Structure 1
Amino acid sequence: MRRPLTAAALTVSAALLLTACSGGGGGGGGGADGEGGPDIVRPTTPTGVTAQAGSATSVHVMWERSTDDRAVTAYDVLHAGRRVATVPASRHMVDVERLAPSTPYRFTVRARDAAGNLSAPSAEAPVTTPPAVPDDRTPPTRPAALRGTADGSRAVTLTWSRATDATAVTAYDIHQGGVRVHSVPGTTTTTRLTTLRPGTRYTFTVRARDAADNVSPDSPPATLTTADAPAGGPATAPTGLTATARKGAVSLTWTPPDTGAPVKEHQLYLDGAFATTIVWGAAPPPGRAAYTFTVTDPPGTRHTVKLRARLPDGTWGDFSAERTVTVP
């Protein structure tokens, strides 16, 4: 069973390594940068909010990321004005569970920053949970014939054959790198995924889910590569990422993007999910950067890693190419 790496462990490792590499302190962190006086600017309102029933007692809520003059730190998901979930800014989806079957719900999302400023609530996303199916322990069949097409440099379209179930398929979950990145209704067998990275190889699988929350095996994988970015735009992704696994640790090296100013902050994503922020307390080291984090997983466990840099304007650049490492 995979045991996720904790952000605390990553931060400790970063501090040790960055001190050795740059002669300055390092650590993980987030939130406002403390510059420019009090932060009184609210984040923008989340858009694109959708709610999809995953089972008779759960709903999958998704939204587009908000922006802030400094940084969004979290999102609150609300039902009828009451907060039912909070997730970090790196996530833009959540499962709301312990709901009642055959019940209508209306969800909204709001963004918050480190100073406690809250955005206005998003537009409502209505959804009705399906009826409960007692004693249903049979999962749907695996979706078949998954195939994909790259739509330019930042999107792909996936299609698959319908799964079958003893009652009904209520949703399909799309996974990338072992992490769920999207869900669609059980009546849908195609979807378009956006905000991908140009010139990057992705592998997707699909699982079917029924009202009792039984989940099918993975579909056969579909691997495809997005087109390269159009010429002329500045490159904002770290390049040359290498990941080397040894007993108890994974070591990364990469070249930060050329932004015209020192890049002091990177975000590390582990298995598709935000893990920690790498910060140089002083001037970052010249040339290639290096970072090591510990792992405690059993031998043979696979992890994917990728990075992105904080740009001089405060926004986050494109993700690096994703690397896969196996615990020896």
Structure 2
Amino acid sequence: SWTASRDDRKVVSYDVYQGGVKLHSVGGAQTATVVTGLRPGTRYSFTVRARDAADNLSPAAGPLALTTAAGTGAGRDTAPGDFRATSHASGGAYYLDLSWVAPRTDGTVTEYGIELDGRPATSLVWGANAPRDRASYSFYAGTERGVRHRVRLRARLPDGTWGGWSAERTVVTGAGR
């Protein structure tokens, strides 16, 4: 909620922003709104701008920073699903082949972080043609056969925060699955 703005041409609406992204507008007589779809244990920042009848915008009021209460699911609803990891050989080297189902979000997921053996390994970024269902990626894992790796991944969600981790998979170079 916020204090009503005053304008000589009448306030006709308020624009509500999360970070720098406009979420929605409410009528000029309203001084509160409800924001839904927030994730547990996540920090958010909101601002409000008044719009007058001449379509002028006021400076942003706020920001209001808040962190939602922790949830019980540890982000599982935002984790990539059906995560699979295998290995293949090519040209004297071994590669890890990953595939997963993109998490269901209110937008397109274009970036994933991949963790290998408990450490960040790489980021995978798609442009405008990011997969909305099953995605796959293959990356170099070395030249030695029989090396055991633990791998998992997570999505950078459309709001810029990281989702939950996928299940961790163990794969051995040269062993197939």
Alpha-carbon RMSD across the aligned residues, in angstroms, is 3.6
**Higher gyration radius (CA):** 2
- The alignment partner of 1:278 has SS state of coil
Return the match for 2:32 from 182, 185, 190.
190
Return the match for 1:216 from 33, 58, 61.
58
Contact 1:200–1:321, Cα closer than 8 Å, also in 2 = no
User: Which residue of the partner structure matches residue 47 of structure 2?
Assistant: 205
Greater strand proportion: 2
- The alignment partner of 1:192 has SS state of coil
Contact 1:306–1:320, Cα closer than 8 Å, also in 2 = yes
Q: Match for 1:198: what amino acid?
A: P
Displacement over 4 Å in runs of 4+: 280-283
Tell whether 2:76 aligns with 1:235: yes
- The alignment partner of 1:191 has SS state of coil
Contact 1:237–1:319, Cα closer than 8 Å, also in 2 = no
Contact 1:160–1:190, Cα closer than 8 Å, also in 2 = yes
Return the match for 2:20 from 178, 190, 202.
178
Q: Match for 1:263: what amino acid?
A: W
Q: For each residue in 1:257-315, what CA deviation from the matched residue of structure 2 results, as whole angstroms up to 9, or x when unmatched?
A: 3545541546138xxxxx7343499743483559xxxxxxxxxxxxxx9327xxxxxxx
- For structure 1, list consecutive stretches of 5 or more residues without a partner in the other structure: 1-158, 239-256, 270-274, 291-304, 309-317, 323-328
Contact 1:172–1:209, Cα closer than 8 Å, also in 2 = yes
Q: For each residue in 1:42-79, what CA deviation from the matched residue of structure 2 results, as whole angstroms up to 9, or x when unmatched?
A: xxxxxxxxxxxxxxxxxxxxxxxxxxxxxxxxxxxxxx
User: Which residue of the partner structure matches residue 287 of structure 1?
Assistant: 151
The separation in 2 between residues aligned to 1:227 and 1:235, in whole angstroms, is 16
Q: How does 1:1-328 map to 2 (within 5 A)?
A: 159-231=1-73, 235-238=76-79, 257=80, 259=82, 262-265=99-102, 267-268=109-110, 276-279=128-131, 283-285=136-138, 287-288=151-152, 306-307=156-157, 320-321=161-162
Contact 1:267–1:277, Cα closer than 8 Å, also in 2 = no
Contact 1:199–1:226, Cα closer than 8 Å, also in 2 = yes
1:229 CA displacement: 2.2
The separation in 2 between residues aligned to 1:222 and 1:234, in whole angstroms, is 24
The separation in 2 between residues aligned to 1:282 and 1:178, in whole angstroms, is 29
- The alignment partner of 1:187 has SS state of coil
Structure 1 residues 163 and 264, CA, compared in 2 at 3 Å: closer, same or farther?
same
1:321 CA displacement: 3.1
- For structure 2, list consecutive stretches of 5 or more residues without a partner in the other structure: 85-98, 103-107, 112-126, 139-149, 164-177
Identity of aligned residues (%): 39
Between Structure 1 and Structure 2, how many residues are aligned? 117
